[in-house]
Structures are given as C-alpha cells and as structure tokens.
C-alpha cells in the first residue's frame, strides 16, 4: 500500500497534536503559563495561547485563507504521494509530516476558529506539535531535494566522463 507511511505518520501527528491541544485547553486557562521547574522558565514553558494566523503567530486574522491553503496542500500531497518512488524515504517522510501538521491545525481552524498553541521556548513565538511537524517536514523536504540533486549531479558526472567514443586513459600518466 503506497499510502501506508503517509497514514501512519500523518495520523500519528494528528492524534498527538489534537490530544496535546485538548489537554492544554482542559487544564490551563487561556494565557495561563505552567512551568514544571522554576529554573526552566527562561528557556521553556507551557502556555495556553491561540492564534488566527499561521505557524509561530504570523499573519494573524488570515485563518480562513490558511484553512483553504491547508486543504489545497493536503489534496496536493494526497495526489502526489503515491507517485513518489518508495526509495525516496526522506521526501515521503517530509510530506507525511507536513500533511499531519496541516490537518492538525486545520481541525482547530474549522472547529475553534483559531489554532491552539502551547509550546514556548525562550523568546521564540508560541507554537504547537502541528507547527513543529510542518517545520520539520519542510526541513526534510529541503534535505531530500538537496540529496536528489547531488545524486543526479554525480550520475551526470559519471555518465559524462565515459562518453561513447572516448577512450579511457590506460594509466594516470596518459591523462592530459
């Protein structure tokens, strides 16, 4: 089944994202901060926050636009995914993470009108597991494209070095 990895990874991200957000909404009042150890407060904390924009609080009040974009991205991934060779593991993982994150935040937008965020690290904007999944997926997508380009350049260099009609040097001294 060509969708097995996609369903497993994206489904896991959606499940963890929705459970974590539900726990935050249930146990912390809006804007309430929880720090398990006081020494950790400057570095990391849990805070019940929400935003109507995209990841990391960008582009507030554009939630409807991002709901539409999330649906389009999800449809594109579902269309493209089975066409990716199974050997392209990084690309398949990247798209699975991005799909899970996009759907996780889409569920919030459709049911709440905003996205619940709760992970606060240093002075970085508050985010959630779906945001992290999209970000990691984007990093892996860049990595997979870079690796593919390297493979193609290596293959081209190898095939160009042995063009038909060219003789290979018989010894290192025969090279120009």
Residue 124, SS3 per DSSP: coil
β-partners of residue 117 are 49
Measure Cα distances from 49 to 32, 110, 115, 147 in Å. Answer: 8, 17, 8, 37
The 8-class DSSP code of residue 130 comes to H
User: Is 117 assigned a catalytic role?
Assistant: yes
CA dist 131 and 71 (Å) reads 16
User: Is 131 assigned a catalytic role?
Assistant: yes
Per-residue H/E/C for 59-78: CCCCHHHHHHHHHHHHHHHH
Among 67, 74, 82, 132, smallest CA distance to 99 is for: 74
Which distant-in-sequence residues (6+ apart) come within 8 Å of 116 by Cβ?
21, 24, 25, 48, 49, 50, 108, 128
**Catalytic annotation, pick one of 17, 108, 131, 174:** 131
Residue 42, SS3 per DSSP: coil
As annotated, the active-site residues are 117, 131
């Amino acid at each position: 089944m060509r969708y097995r990895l996609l369903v497993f990874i994206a489904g896991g991200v959606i499940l963890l994202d929705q459970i974590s957000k539900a726990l935050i909404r249930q146990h912390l009042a809006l804007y309430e901060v929880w720090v398990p150890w006081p020494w950790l407060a400057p570095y990391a904390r849990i805070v019940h926050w929400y935003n109507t924009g995209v990841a990391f609080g960008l582009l507030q009040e554009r939630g409807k636009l991002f709901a539409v974009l999330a649906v389009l991205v999800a449809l594109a991934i579902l269309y493209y995914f089975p066409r990716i060779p199974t050997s392209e593991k990084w690309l398949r993982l990247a798209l699975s993470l991005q799909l899970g994150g996009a759907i996780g935040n889409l569920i919030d937008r459709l049911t709440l009108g905003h996205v619940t965020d709760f992970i606060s690290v240093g002075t970085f904007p508050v985010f959630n597991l779906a945001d992290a999944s999209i970000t990691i997926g984007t990093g892996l997508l860049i990595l997979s494209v870079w690796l593919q380009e390297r493979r193609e350049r290596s293959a081209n260099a190898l095939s160009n070095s042995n063009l038909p009609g060219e003789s290979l040097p018989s010894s290192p001294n025969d090279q120009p």
